[in-house]
Amino acid sequence: LPEIMTALEQGDISSQALVSAYIERIENIDRKGPKLQSVLALNPNALAQAVALDAQRANGNILGPLHGVPILLKDNIESKDDVATTAGALALKDNITGRDSPLVAGLREQGAIILGKTNLSQWANFRSEGSMSGWSALGGQVRNPHMLDRNPCGSSSGSGAATAASLAAASVGTETNGSVICPSNANGIVGFKPTVGVVPQ
């Protein structure tokens, strides 16, 4: 993430090129090839937002340190983009709310691009006492990109697997009991778990 931010600042890459590269990579290894199934939906406006943010950067109008950085959201986090917030459940497959959660509003204020939504343990694992990590009715089973038959772990497993597979500059998850820590560990990535209350819930 810091290297990507620096590359954008120095003009080594554009947000448009980054978004295009991530979309192509998602198609090649998340939906085809090994089929990681870590990304549930893409934001249809992400590329247009990248073009607009590149133009703002060219004019010296930098919104913040995440200006033009593509980020994936766990699909229990609302965004006002034309993407449903589903928690992985068929019951919410058309749940487009048209509003940002406070977390997403904060990311957007700093210039982040919401690239799309990640798969998760359905209902963030509040489905049954015997539910599997990383399975949802909408997205199927998330696969660990290091070893496809290993547990991706935690309800934020899609965010963890997507980050490990370089499908976005960063991903956001949610944690009640291990849902950020566990996929970070299982997928070999760095996970930040803020103190409860620091990020509005």
Is position 157 annotated as part of the catalytic site? Answer: no
What gap in Å lies between CA 190 and CA 193, rounded to an integer? 10
38, 121, 155, 184: which is the annotated catalytic residue? 155
Q: What is the DSSP letter of 3?
A: H
Helix (H, G, I), strand (E, B) or coil at 121: coil
State the catalytic residue, choosing from 74, 133, 136, 159: 74
Whether 136 is catalytic is no
Report the 3 state secondary structure along 153-180: CCCCHHHHHHHHCCCCCEEECCCCCCCC
Catalytic site residue 74?
yes
Q: Kindly give, in sequence order, each residue whose CB lies less than 8 Å from that of residue 46, ignoring residues fewer than 6 positions away.
A: 19, 23, 70, 81, 113, 114, 115, 116
Residue among 121, 171, 179, 184 flagged as catalytic: 179
Which residues are tagged catalytic? 74, 155, 179
